[in-house]
Each structure stands twice: as C-alpha cells, then as structure tokens.
Structure 1
C-alpha cells in the first residue's frame, strides 16, 4: 500500500489493521472517518449532559468517544465481536469507560433499551427494519440522527407526487417528522461504499396518531403495490378481494352480523371507495389525510386490513 494512503488513515484504523482486523462487508462496515461529519451529526442531535444515547454500529468508536464526552451514558450496539472488543479497549482505563455500555449482537434481534437520542452510522442493509423498530419503540425517544444510503434517505422525506414517494415515505411520515440534514460523499468512509449517503433527523410524533399501525400498513401495502394504478383498480385484484372478504366474515361473526345471501365483495368494496371520492386517485399522489379517510371508510363498514 502506498505510504501516502497509510498516512491518511486514522490512528485507530491503523491500530486495527495492524491487528489483522479487516472490515466485513457482510455487516455493512464502512467507518465514517471525517471528523467534521461526526461533529455535525452530534451537533444536530442537540444532546444534553443527562442523556442516554443509543449508537448502532459504533465500528472503531470515532463517534462513540465524542458522544461519551457529552452525555451521561452511551449504549453501543455492535454485531461484530472483534470491533466491540476494540471499542472496549479504546476506552478502557479512561474516565469514559464507566459511561459506555456495550451490547454485542444483532440490533434487530435485541430488545432496545431505554434511550433519549439515537445517533448512528447504520449498516445500510438494516435501514428499513431498524427505522420501524425505532418508531414503534416505547417509551418515546426525543430524536434520532441517522446516516443512510442517499436514495433511502430521499424516500423517507419524499412528498406526494415525487418520484421516490412510496410506502416507506408514507409510513415513516405517519409516525414521525423527518428532515434531511446533509449529503455525505462516499470518500468520507473507509472503505468507501459504492453509494452516496445522507444524514436524516427523525422525531417521533408524541402522542402518536390514533391509528392501528398494522392495519394502516396493510392498507398502504395494497395501495402502493401498484402505485401508478388508481385506488379503484388497486382493489379489483382477486387476492385482495379474497383477503377483505375473509376479514369481513370474521368481523360479521364476532359481531353476530348475518351476511346477506347475495353479498358481493367486489360490489361492496367499489361502493365504499366511490363514497370517498378517491376511486380515481393514484397512491403516488395521495397524502396521509386521504389514506386515513379511505381506511376510516372501510373500517366503518366492518372491513379491516390487519
């Protein structure tokens, strides 16, 4: 390796390389090396000295150490035991050591502890499941400042009518306020990923909207599976009609309601949609209020999506 490239490496990275630890692409290990970006992410989190911070994927600990200097406690969740051991060694014997709690394991399979703020350079392959684990976590946290693949971040903040507006946009914005903070070039990481990145701030809506999220997601999944079709057309597929009919029959059974002999599921669904005036609308142009109106119209008639 050329000397000039070695010279540019952080001291911590050199130490890890000397010990024969290579970064694992399976875990999405791309270490954020630019201290200006690390500092900006921490600044945007508006941390308090009394805070407990959750960090996912601490890697070599560049961000972790800066967090430890500012808050009461950092809970760092690292899937790779090698890097977890290096992080432990990095703070061992320093005044920061008793402020660090290390959790070694997959954050998606681990119950999230209590925390006030989440700050993380996430492994990109867990972005979507982690966002929803975060947003459905209780008690509420104050905010999260997270690094994502740029296109994923753009989907989170996309508005109706925009190219990247999708089910992810709708669900995230139902449960939180999302803002794009900054773009981050691939050369700010070691090793550089193949994609550009972005930092996003997420604040959960507290109190949350009075919506059954599983049912909401069931409706949104139907509408966005073919987001360029009209809502009326999206509900004409036999699999969807069969699911709604099954759920409706369960509803009728639970409420001692007799199903008419000439009941036609397709006709009933069309009737509900037409009553909302949304039958000609396309999912990619609809906002949260319109989807809530559609879901409420179905629910009033005993139709559920969960």
Structure 2
C-alpha cells in the first residue's frame, strides 16, 4: 500500500494565530512575509520624509510599519475590519500611531485623499480597475511600486509585437511609464497564492496626450478585440459599423450638418484606414503614436467611438 504523504502545515503569523483569524480568499488576502522583499519595494519607491504614502490592503501591517519609519503619513485602505483591528493594535502606544490614517472599505469605491506615492501588495482580483483609478486620480502621484500577479505585470510592461501586448498595455503606457522591478515566488506569502507575482514601478506621465480617454478606449477596444486581425477586418464588422454610423449621425445632428443621401459608413471608414496605410495593420504591432494618429483621423471626419 503506497505511503500517504502528510500534509505540510504552514506556521501561521503569530499575531493572527493568537486571534484565530483566518485569511479571506474572497479579499485576495496573501500576506507578504519576506522582509527583504518589503524592504526592496520601499527602497524602489525612493521615499521622502515629506511623503504621504497610500497603501492598499495593508493586511497585518508588515509593509505599513516599514513605511511609517520613513514618511510623514501613511494612508492605509483595508476592507477587512479584523485586519484593521490588528493594524491598530500594532501601532498603538508607538510613535507611529499619529502618522497612520486607516480607510475602512473597498478601495475601488472609496474616494482617495491626496497621496504622493503608493506602495502596496495589491489584491490580484482588483488589479486592472485599481491601476486606472490610481492613474486618473488628481492630483497625480509621483510613483507607485505595486505587487501584481506575474502575468498581469508582464502585460503592463509589454511592447508592440510581444505575445502579451494588449489593451491593458497600451492604455496604461498612454498615461504612465511602467517598469518591471522584480519577480516574487509563491513562498514569500502566507498563505501561498496559486500564481507567481511580480513588482512593477508606475510613474504617471507629466504631459499625457490631450485626448478624450473614452474615445481612446472605444478605439482600442475595437482594434484589440482580435489583436491578430487586421484593422480593416476589425472595422468591417457589422456591429462596429452600426455603432460608428449612429455616432456619426449624432455628431452631424449636434453640429447642424446634413448627412448625404448616399452616405455609407463603411466607405468612409475604409477611406480613413486606406489614407493612413492602416487597413492591413494589426493592433498587436501598433504603438501609441499609431493609435493617436488613427484617433485623430477618425475625429477629423466626425466619427466617434463613444
């Protein structure tokens, strides 16, 4: 009879074990336990004594305590009241108590205060909406050093022609410079996640393009729906042509322009693509400048994507 391998037990975080707290998978709770990685993330943020740092999902406070040593204030956003209580206990009666502000709730639904830097081990299921919430926050922050699922991080930094290049890549890089800092194995967390992780540095652009981001998003959504398909093929889809025709007629109505009797949206779209030499291009090979030129050409002809 084959031997049954005993299940490997992980030693729980001492403070958590005393309270009998179990981590909630629905909140993506994987506590970063390796102090070397925490220190490295804090160092990569190049913190200043005057900084106000936003931390999302502080958990038991391992990163929070390190941040409090170096900055003026830490704003920690935590959805789990049990971990809020743990964090409060950890700073109680220490010099750091007055430097810590805790926001209780879902960060995606919370109005964020001013912060100059963001350092966090992000709950992976909110990665995409959170990145854009941060990038659209005003006033803009100096930089963010964030832990993501490895594949998500690779998509953020992917370039035209890369296998993982997608809408996420180009939409993020339109607004920020993104650099991969390091890869982090599963065993650096408790409990270990099912996927590998990576840390990226996001630095918002000081002069983002003066465009409508809803228009940009509508254009890239069409182009990347099947990123290996040519733009000519993507824009010939009936549902796309119907949407563009509706928007064009609305544009004409708002600007008191008459729609020609023989108007055909398909011919107009094909004309724009041909004029730009873009009909045979594929989204996976196009960079930001290619899409900006395309957006401008459509806009000049009164064709909109939102």
In structure 2, what is the equivalent of residue 85 of structure 1?
Answer: 85
CA distance in 1, matches of 2:15, 2:130: 30
Q: Which structure 1 residue ranges, 4+ long, deviate > 6 Å from structure 2?
A: 1-4
Alignment of 1:254-269 (within 5 A): 254-269=254-269
In structure 2, what is the equivalent of residue 178 of structure 1?
Answer: 178
Per-residue Cα deviation, 1:77-108 (whole angstroms, up to 9, x for no partner):
00000001100110011100000000010000
Per-residue Cα deviation, 1:211-231 (whole angstroms, up to 9, x for no partner):
211110110000000111000
Per-residue Cα deviation, 1:34-73 (whole angstroms, up to 9, x for no partner):
0000000000000000000000000000000010010000
Per-residue Cα deviation, 1:172-198 (whole angstroms, up to 9, x for no partner):
000000000000000000000000000
CA distance in 2, matches of 1:168, 1:212: 17
In structure 2, what is the equivalent of residue 222 of structure 1?
Answer: 222
TM-score (norm 2): 0.96
CA distance in 2, matches of 1:3, 1:276: 60
CA distance in 2, matches of 1:3, 1:268: 64
In structure 1, what is the equivalent of residue 3 of structure 2?
Answer: none
CA distance in 2, matches of 1:214, 1:136: 12
In structure 1, what is the equivalent of residue 189 of structure 2?
Answer: 189
CA distance in 2, matches of 1:189, 1:204: 29
In structure 1, what is the equivalent of residue 249 of structure 2?
Answer: 249
| Counterpart secondary structure, 1:69 | helix
Inter-CA distance 275–3: structure 2 relative to 1 (3 Å threshold): closer
By how many angstroms is 1:18 displaced? 1.8
| Counterpart secondary structure, 2:199 | strand
CA distance in 1, matches of 2:85, 2:280: 57
In structure 2, what is the equivalent of residue 303 of structure 1?
Answer: 303
CA distance in 2, matches of 1:5, 1:249: 63
In structure 1, what is the equivalent of residue 26 of structure 2?
Answer: 26
| Counterpart secondary structure, 1:114 | coil
In structure 2, what is the equivalent of residue 145 of structure 1?
Answer: 145
How large is the Cα RMSD of the aligned pairs?
1.4
CA distance in 2, matches of 1:26, 1:131: 19
By how many angstroms is 1:207 displaced? 2.3
Higher mean C-alpha deviation, range 206-215 or range 275-284: 206-215
Inter-CA distance 107–159: structure 2 relative to 1 (3 Å threshold): same
Structure 2 unmatched ranges of 5 or more: 1-5
Alignment of 1:33-52 (within 5 A): 33-52=33-52
CA distance in 2, matches of 1:183, 1:139: 30
Structure 1 unmatched ranges of 5 or more: none
